[in-house]
Amino acid sequence: MGQVEIVLNSLPMSGGDGPDSYSKNSHLQRRSASLLRETIDKLIMEKIDARTLISCTNTFHIADLGCATGPNTFFLVEDIIKSVDTSLQSNSTKPDFLVFFNDLPSNDFNTLFTSLPPDRSYFAVGVPGSFYSRILPQSSVHIVLTVGATHWLSSVPKEVLDKSSKAWNKGKVHYSNASEEVVKAYEEQFGRDMERFLEARAKEIVSGGLLVVGMCGIPLGMPFSNLADSIIIMYNSMADVLIQMQSQGLISEEQVDTFNVPIYSASPEEVAVLVEKNGCFTVEFMELMDPTAWLKRPMDVEDVRQWIVCIKATMGSLFINHFGDHLLDDIFDRLTTKLVGLTEKVESSYREKVMLFFALKRK
Ligand SMILES: C[S@@+](CC[C@H](N)C(=O)[O-])C[C@H]1O[C@@H](n2cnc3c(N)ncnc32)[C@H](O)[C@@H]1O
């Protein structure tokens, strides 16, 4: 199977709750997401009229798209429920809350559901399917949230895998440091995907409802390779590790050349154009943030190790699908060694505003 199909069918975070699992290694994502909490609370208080939204059924519907296996999704959902509850304070009947947990069908929903907080104040529903298409009924949800998921493209752009194309991305794993054609192929893929994402959400979110998105971002016009961000050092190191393994005969040149990480960082302006084109939403909030603002001291070797453990839990399945299960630990051990050796460089490049946070209101 080519990588184009692999992404959609099996992109899951490491399942279960073992030492290498996403559920045990997603604290960095949680810390970054916690930077959004205050703004989400303010948006709920100021931008939506919760009482009118639930007037027919007295049930408030929330969806988390790309929820993975938990526990981050539970914290985010609980924060939203608290904010909605506060905004409804004087309402005599407390509403029921229904939460749709969405992810790709190959996600480990068993781990998600077995770890649902037993004392939760909401009903939980699993929604398997790609958020690049319709996953919920027409006008069925009041707040849709998605954190750390919409930078995953629906697939690796075809041109990047095509030897005869100018966008053939030989010897690289991403569009950072790649040719202009590769960058354009990723950019266009994101444009197509985000268009489909917004079209689907416009159908699913009720008028007056909110769509809140946290994803990888970048300032407008800044070439990815100019961004002094640790993630670039990581992609470049990944390519170095694969080329080293190729030279040792552990993987083939073909395998290296056809491996690409389908992650795209969007600028606020790029998203604003797509929102305008869609026409169904108003932009209520749009900002680039530093996802590491919570880290109050310089990053050390142990932080770098922890960071790679989180990356392994997040991207491991891409490597397993492409290179096989047996090479996963070797690849990540080499990557850890390489990046630990670059700790100072990683630290000095760690404070960029590379998390894009935006909130849209359905007209
Ligand atoms: C890094 S995890 C983030 C999980 C969670 N939101 C958090 O903050 O911890 C990204 C999740 O998005 C999911 N995802 C990626 N593309 C998706 C798509 N097209 N449809 C649904 N889920 C998707 C992945 O399977 C993964 O579980």
Q: Which of 13, 37, 115, 195 to mutate to test the pocket of ligand 1 (most atoms within 8 A of CB)?
A: 13
**Average of per-residue pLDDT across 314-321:** 92
The pLDDT of residue 99 is: 98
The residue extents of the domains of the chain are 3-362
Cβ neighbours of residue 286 closer than 8 Å, sequence gap 6 or more: 268, 271, 272, 356, 357, 358, 359
| 33-47, 199-213, 288-302, 306-320: range with lowest mean pLDDT | 288-302
Query: Given a cut of 50, is residue 6 above it in pLDDT?
Result: no
Q: Per-residue confidence at 233, pLDDT binned at 50, 70, 90? A: confident
Query: Given a cut of 50, is residue 274 above it in pLDDT?
Result: yes
Q: Which residues of 59-85 are buried (b: 16+ CB within 10 A; e: fewer)?
A: ebbbbbbbbbbbbbbbebbbbbbebbb
Query: Given a cut of 90, is residue 96 above it in pLDDT?
Result: yes
Atom 9 (ligand 1): residue with closest C-alpha?
A: 72
Q: How many angstroms separate the Cα of 69 from the Cα of each of 113, 147, 325, 345?
A: 8, 13, 20, 32
Distance 103 CA to ligand 1 centre (A): 6
| 147-151, 248-252, 287-291: range with lowest mean pLDDT | 287-291
The pLDDT of residue 8 is: 54
The pLDDT of residue 224 is: 64
Pocket lining: 33 vs ligand 1, CB cutoff 6 Å: yes
| 76-90, 117-131, 182-196, 268-282: range with lowest mean pLDDT | 76-90
CA distance 89 to 169: 55
Query: Given a cut of 80, is residue 332 above it in pLDDT?
Result: yes
**Which residue's entry shows tokens 């790309």?**
66
Pocket lining: 148 vs ligand 1, CB cutoff 6 Å: yes
Query: Given a cut of 80, is residue 130 above it in pLDDT?
Result: yes
Pocket lining: 291 vs ligand 1, CB cutoff 6 Å: no
Both structure tokens of 79: 């924060």
The pLDDT of residue 219 is: 84
Q: Is CATH 3.90.79.10 the classification given to domain 3-362?
A: no
**Average of per-residue pLDDT across 104-108:** 93
CA distance 282 to 260: 34
90 vs 184, residue with greater confidence: 184
CA distance 122 to 97: 5
The pLDDT of residue 183 is: 92
